[in-house]
């Protein structure tokens, strides 16, 4: 495992960077992803140093809060780790994970980087996007972007490109069909697949109740 010093320093750095972040992408999101990643890693063949650092640093500059720029976060992570004298191979692996773990990158059919560590951190992040907390985060972000809860006249786009996904301003309910309900089948690790099943069913039950209430039937 990493030394307490590196973990403590990285944790404090992330807390400082995210002190004014939107509620769904704040330090507490990072903390949950970190905990999820350590849990999943227990049954995977991974370098735990890479997993821990990537989980902590994965959202320090989410592109959707930086005009779509996907390079800022990896650059910040590389610079921070370099200043902490972290081994160069670990730095490059962590940066590669941050560059490749976002859902929007799943639209890129030419993506070539893979690793067990990426699978663990990506699954950990995606678990936080589904279930009860996933629902809360989705509506929090929708409110942050001043989006409608739901509009029956705007159907979900089930054939999105990466650019469609990045530029979407659709109602929040659409996001369930365009992303959240797809994540269960995109989990890579056995541990995450088991957790995702329960959270997926919770979201389906929530949507059923939402539409009943929307139509005045419950």
Lowest mean pLDDT among 34-43, 59-68, 146-155: 59-68
Q: What's the pLDDT band for 64 if we cut at 50, 70, 90?
A: confident
Long-range contacts of 47-50 (CB under 8 A, 24+ apart): 47/90, 47/93, 47/117, 48/1, 48/2, 49/1, 49/2, 49/90, 50/90, 50/93, 50/94, 50/97, 50/117
Q: What is the pLDDT of residue 1?
A: 55
Q: What's the pLDDT band for 8 if we cut at 50, 70, 90?
A: very high
pLDDT single digits (tens) 89-148: 999 999 999 999 988 666 566 677 999 999 999 999 999 999 999 999 999 999 999 999
Lowest mean pLDDT among 38-47, 55-64, 138-147: 55-64
CATH of the domain at 81: 1.10.3210.50
Lowest mean pLDDT among 1-10, 53-62, 94-103, 193-202: 1-10
Count of domains for the chain: 1
Q: What is the pLDDT of residue 107?
A: 57
Q: What is the pLDDT of residue 56?
A: 98
Q: 192: closest CA among 78, 97, 107, 116?
A: 116
- Whether the predicted model's global pTM rises above the 0.85 cut: yes
> Which structural domain range is residue 108 located in?
4-214
pLDDT single digits (tens) 166-204: 788 999 999 999 999 999 999 999 999 999 999 999 999
Q: What is the pLDDT of residue 162?
A: 79
Q: What's the pLDDT band for 4 if we cut at 50, 70, 90?
A: confident
pLDDT more than 70, % of the chain: 95
Q: What is the pLDDT of residue 11?
A: 97
Q: What's the pLDDT band for 69 if we cut at 50, 70, 90?
A: confident
pLDDT more than 90, % of the chain: 83
């Amino acid at each position: 495992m990493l030394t307490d010093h590196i973990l403590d320093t990285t944790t404090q750095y992330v807390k400082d960077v995210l002190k004014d972040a939107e509620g769904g992408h704040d330090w507490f999101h990072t903390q949950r992803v970190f905990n999820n990643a350590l849990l999943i890693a227990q049954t995977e063949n991974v370098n735990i140093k890479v997993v821990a650092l990537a989980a902590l640093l994965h959202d320090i500059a989410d592109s959707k809060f930086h005009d779509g720029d996907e390079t800022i976060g990896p650059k910040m992570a590389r610079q921070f780790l370099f200043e902490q004298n972290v081994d160069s191979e670990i730095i490059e692996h962590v940066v590669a994970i941050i560059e490749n773990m976002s859902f929007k990158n799943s639209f890129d059919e030419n993506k070539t980087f893979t690793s067990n560590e990426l699978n663990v951190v990506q699954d950990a992040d995606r678990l936080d996007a589904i279930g009860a907390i996933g629902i809360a985060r989705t509506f929090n972000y929708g409110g942050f972007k001043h989006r409608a809860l739901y509009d029956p006249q705007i159907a979900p786009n089930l054939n999105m490109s990466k650019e469609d996904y990045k530029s979407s301003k659709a109602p929040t309910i659409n996001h369930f069909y365009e992303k959240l309900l797809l994540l269960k089948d995109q989990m890579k690790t056995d541990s995450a697949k088991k957790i995702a099943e329960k959270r997926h069913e919770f979201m389906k039950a929530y949507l059923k109740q939402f539409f009943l209430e929307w139509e005045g039937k419950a």
